[in-house]
Amino acid sequence: MISKESLKKISPFLWEIPKSFRPDMRVPARIFTSEKMLDEIFNDQSLDQLVNVTTLPGIVGYAYVMPDAHEGYGFPIGGVAATKFPDGVISPGGIGYDINCGVRLLKSNLKIDDVKEHFESLAREIYHWIPSGVGKGGRLKLSIEELDKVLKKGTKWMLENDYATQQDIDHTESYGCLENADPSVISSRAKKRGSDQLGTLGAGNHFAEIDFVEEIYDEEAAKAFGLFKNQITFLIHTGSRGLGHQVATDYIKIMMQAMPNYNIQLPDRELACVPLNSPEGENYFNAMAAAANFAWANRQMITWQIRQAWKKEMGNTGGELSLLYDVAHNIAKVETHDIEGKKLKVIVHRKGATRAFPPGHDELSDEFKPIGQPVLIPGSMGTSSYVLCGTKEGMKTSLGSTCHGAGRRMSRRAAKKAVHGKTLKKELEERGILIRVGSIPGLAEEAPQAYKDVDDVVKVVHEAKIAKKVARLRPCVVIKG
């Protein structure tokens, strides 16, 4: 049983569960949190799950969890772990069912006073353009041949078909395409689920928001990112929809059956894994990459749709909506990190965690190398969201990773019992936040009180120096499934 006494305090914002805590641990576990937030983490099984992650074959360094930690499938949400390349394991539970769920931020050239009288009609127009809700299909109906091209090329396919600009690609993590993607290792059922879902939000915690820049913390970084006070922005949060979920479902089943062939025994079957260089591991990695490409294409299609709505409502006075950045937070990637004094090629699992690469990193475009990678951390509905940038310290202490959001403190079921959807909608609109939602009961599941305080979460990130605050955004319009 993990208790506060089991933890060693490394710094005010970093705690460790030593390797000696349990005999099957291969590495220590580290938790980014504050004294204030620590007690809340013991309310679920997230730390037990973190300790289980340390038992993965081939894991190196530490298993980490971010300050938005909460219980997930296999890995805790907010979990980060690296395994040796190529013979360390890959685990779908370390990526999540919604492969490449992620966030992107669009910027306008207008201020809130220029746009606020248009919020009602903009909300209506965006809601019209973006299908949202469980199983909702989009405007694009792709043949299997066309879908395979999307799965292989990601945002590059969107560029070829006039739904993206070159700048969109340059401002997307991994340029919106993982090259190892292989559509042939994705099931026909997964493809069928994804064939009409490009440009859709889905339900749950996914959303599109109109925000404004409420505060600037770092003038130099904000200028480099093209952000200014009171600027209107658009935040998009969604992933690979039913296609990604099916890929995860298919391969978790395959891995559970294959593990005995590799003599893998784990404390939790939800950590199902195989060596990356096994046939099952390679197939999953390539299927995951294809699903990630689909998610980037999905967010790009939503971007195109928001641009259409913006142009229709604002006309020539609105100008163009440009992409600041798009970050994934459910993904596994091959990266090189300094671990225990050695440069190692590893498979980094980020599950509810965001890449946060520092200034000068080779994977960043020339535009972002001087300042570091933009990092986007959305809050819960009705609270602030943040723009940050990656740091050199984070590369040393967290595998260049940070949190992905506020993190749940209540289950969806508990939130629905505690909050009435209609009452919440009214309360938010009284605070000046316009809501467009497909499901009023579903709205209660995403109530602000169901989440941790995003300001506290981001304070830990900033003080621990795994990412640096640049700007805070405040919502004006929220569109949900």
324 three-state secondary structure = strand
Say if CB 195 and CB 183 are below 8 A apart.
no
CA distance 388 to 398: 15
Q: Nearest to residue 380, comparing CAs of 235, 244, 241, 242?
A: 235
- In sign, the C-alpha dihedral spanning 368, 64, 289, 275 is positive
Q: Which of 70, 404, 420, 462 is catalytic?
A: 404
Question: What letters, b where the CB count within 10 A reaches 16 and e where it falls short, cover 368-393?
Answer: bbebbbbbbbbbbbbbbbbbbbbbee
CA distance 36 to 173: 33
| Tokens 């978790």, residue located | 252
| Tokens 């966030």, residue located | 103
Distance from the first to the final alpha carbon of the chain: 39
Q: Tokens at residue 450, please?
A: 């169901």
Give the CA diameter of the chain: 65
Give the other-Cβ count within 10 Å of 221's Cβ: 22
CA distance 378 to 350: 17
164 class by beta-carbon count within 10 Å (0-12 exposed, 13-18 middle, 19+ buried): buried
CA distance 54 to 228: 42
Q: Tokens at residue 31, please?
A: 């938790």
Say if CB 322 and CB 128 are below 8 A apart.
no
Does 420 participate in catalysis according to the annotation? no
- In sign, the C-alpha dihedral spanning 363, 368, 369, 373 is negative
- The alpha-helical segments, DSSP class H, found in 431-466 are 440-445, 454-463
Tell me the Cα Rg of the chain. 21
Cα separation values, 58 from 23, 254, 269, Å: 16, 20, 17
Contacts of 269 (CB under 8 A, 6+ apart): 256
Residues known to be catalytic:
404
